[in-house]
């Protein structure tokens, strides 16, 4: 059986320009220092956009008359579906994760796989539509 990963709540206060608290935020974070390479995950992954990919995206958008917008997805890693069995312990229970948590070593790779499948679907749909 794989290691059971602990998790903890991280609390943060969101403030406005004058320093007045406007929102209280909380997120559940996995304690990634408990994960061991080769046992809990295969390798680490950091998605980085290559210049060629950015140029290709811009050329595709110009050719298709798409509008491009920049956005920052703050909860991106939470949308990755985990294929491995990952167990986390939260106070008195052990849970099996179906989606990624902040702090997991697998989270960036799972998010990238899901996003790349979506991009491939969009490109295939566009190519099929233009025939």
pLDDT at residue 112, rounded to an integer? 78
Instruction: Specify the 3-state DSSP secondary structure of 121.
Output: helix
Residue 114: closest CA among 80, 77, 84: 80
User: How many Å is the maximal CA-CA distance in the chain?
Assistant: 57
Mean residue pLDDT of the chain comes to 79
pTM comes to 0.57
Show the tokens assigned to 24.
């209280």
Identify the pLDDT of residue 1. Answer: 46
Q: Is the pLDDT of residue 29 over 80?
A: yes
Residues of the chain above pLDDT 90, percent: 10
> How many domains, the chain?
1
**Top-ranked range on mean pLDDT: pick from 6-15, 44-53, 55-64, 110-119:** 6-15
Q: Which domain holds residue 36?
A: 4-130
The pLDDT assigned to 70 comes to 77
**Cα–Cα distance measured from residue 109 to residue 113, given in angstroms and rounded to the nearest whole number:** 6
Pairwise pLDDT comparison (6 vs 49), residue with the higher score: 6
């Amino acid at each position: 059986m794989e290691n059971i990963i602990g998790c903890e709540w991280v609390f943060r206060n969101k403030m406005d320009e004058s320093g007045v608290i406007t929102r209280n935020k909380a997120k559940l974070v996995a304690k990634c220092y408990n994960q061991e390479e080769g046992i809990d995950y295969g390798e680490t992954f950091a998605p980085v956009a290559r210049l060629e990919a950015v140029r290709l995206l811009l050329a595709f958008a110009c050719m298709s008359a798409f509008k491009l917008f920049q956005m920052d997805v703050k909860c991106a890693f939470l949308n990755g579906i985990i294929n491995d069995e990952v167990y986390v312990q939260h106070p008195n229970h052990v849970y099996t994760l179906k989606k990624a948590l902040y702090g997991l070593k697998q989270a960036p790779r799972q998010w990238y796989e899901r996003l790349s499948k979506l991009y491939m679907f969009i490109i295939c749909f566009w190519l099929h539509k233009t025939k």
